[in-house]
Amino acid sequence: MQPAPQSYHLRIKEFPPDSQPRERLRDAGPAALSDAELLAILLRVGVAGTNVLQLAQQILAEHGGWVGLQRADYSELCRRHGVGEAKAATLKAALEIGRRILITGTDARPQIRSPTDVANLLMVEMGHLDQEHLRTVLLDTKNRVQQISTIYVGSVNTAVIRVGEVFRDAVRKNSTAIIMVHNHPSGDPTPSTEDILVTRQIVEAGKLLDVEVLDHLIIGRGRYVSMRERGQGFSG
């Protein structure tokens, strides 16, 4: 009886020398690599009948690129043939590093000068969330970002949002000001009546705590609304 054939996993080092992603990264720099090549470096090995580069191409196509992979649950990735727990953990860690670099930018503490600056920090991620997330961007006296805190996940309304939770980290960090940010999973960033009520409530609470609420941004799919610019929830 013939023994069962062993699964063959084509590793990166077994590619022709001029097409090995790691060697291309070394010789040409990471910017020269395709998305699939970068992902192949993280995956390291393919599966029977599919080399690691093909596997990377398949996974990117299935999830619609990096943003889709960032949104994918860890358990979902683990169940994907050819991924498993170790690769899923490596991938999620790499994506989180990228997200944190995007948040901090080139400076350790990016300065906020306009609503667009805030949107650039959070819109890529928050514009694709399936649930509403309320976050606060904590700022110092020079409007430099101290921290971004997730306050609540779920419907943003006056019945569930606790004022103390909104300002907890700001008080702890001695922040001068905050900017509220939440997303609309529908993709339409138009403020609702409840959004205006929540904003008004938080702005008034900030005055009592001597923490200025500079703005409340609502993020949709590729769009955002500054409620201060619209004069909604902010007096004067």
Q: What SS3 string covers 158-211?
A: CCCCCHHHHHHHHHHCCCCEEEEEEECCCCCCCCCHHHHHHHHHHHHHHHHHCC
Q: Are residues 88 and 169 in the same domain?
A: no
Mean local confidence (pLDDT), 47-60 = 88
Q: Does 55 fall in a domain?
A: yes
- Are 136 and 58 within one domain? no
pLDDT value at residue 8: 41
Share of the chain above pLDDT 70, in %: 86
Residue 7 lies inside a defined structural domain of this protein: no
pLDDT in tens, 185-215: 999 999 999 999 999 999 999 999 999 999 9
SS (H, E, C) 35-69: HHHHHHHHHCECECCECHHHHHHHHHHHHCCHHHH
In this structure, of 121-135, 146-160, 173-187, the range with the lowest mean pLDDT score is 146-160
Q: Is there a single domain that holds both residue 211 and residue 140? A: yes
List the CATH number of the domain containing 121: 3.40.140.10
In a domain, 2, yes or no: no
pLDDT digits (tens, 9 = 90+) for 112-149: 999 999 998 888 888 888 889 999 999 999 999 999 99
Token digits of residue 31: 């910017």
C-alpha to C-alpha distance for 20 and 35, rounded to whole angstroms: 14
Same-domain status, 162 and 75: no
The answer to whether 184 and 92 have CB atoms below 8 angstroms apart is no
> Do 20 and 91 sit in the same domain of this protein?
yes
State the Cα–Cα distance between residues 48 and 78, nearest whole angstrom.
Answer: 17
Within-domain flag for 46: yes
What global pTM score does this model have?
A: 0.57
Place of tokens 């994907």: 80
Statement to judge: residues 93 and 140 lie in one domain: no
Q: Are residues 92 and 141 in the same domain?
A: no
User: What's the structural domain count of the chain?
Assistant: 2
Amino acid identity for residue 54 in this structure: Q
49 — pLDDT class (breaks 50, 70, 90): confident
Which of 104, 136, 165 is the C-terminal boundary of a domain? 104
Average pLDDT over residues 175-187: 94
Does residue 140 lie in a domain region? yes
Res. 1: pLDDT tops 70:
no
User: What pLDDT was estimated at residue 60?
Assistant: 92
Which of residues 104, 127, 147 is at a domain's end?
A: 104
End residue of a domain, out of 51, 76, 104: 104
Angle at which helix 35-43 crosses helix 52-63, to 10 degrees, equals 120
Question: Are residues 98 and 126 part of one domain?
Answer: no
- Distance, in Å, from the CA atom of 70 to the CA atom of 73, rounded to the nearest integer, reads 8
Q: Containing domain of residue 73, as a range? A: 12-104
Residue 31 sits in a domain of what CATH number?
A: 1.10.150
Name the least confident of 4-8, 55-59, 82-86, 122-126.
4-8
Location of structure tokens 């170790």: 86
**Mean pLDDT (the chain, rounded):** 84
- Same domain (yes/no): 46, 81: yes
Specify the pLDDT at position 13. Answer: 56
Tokens matching residue 136: 């606060």
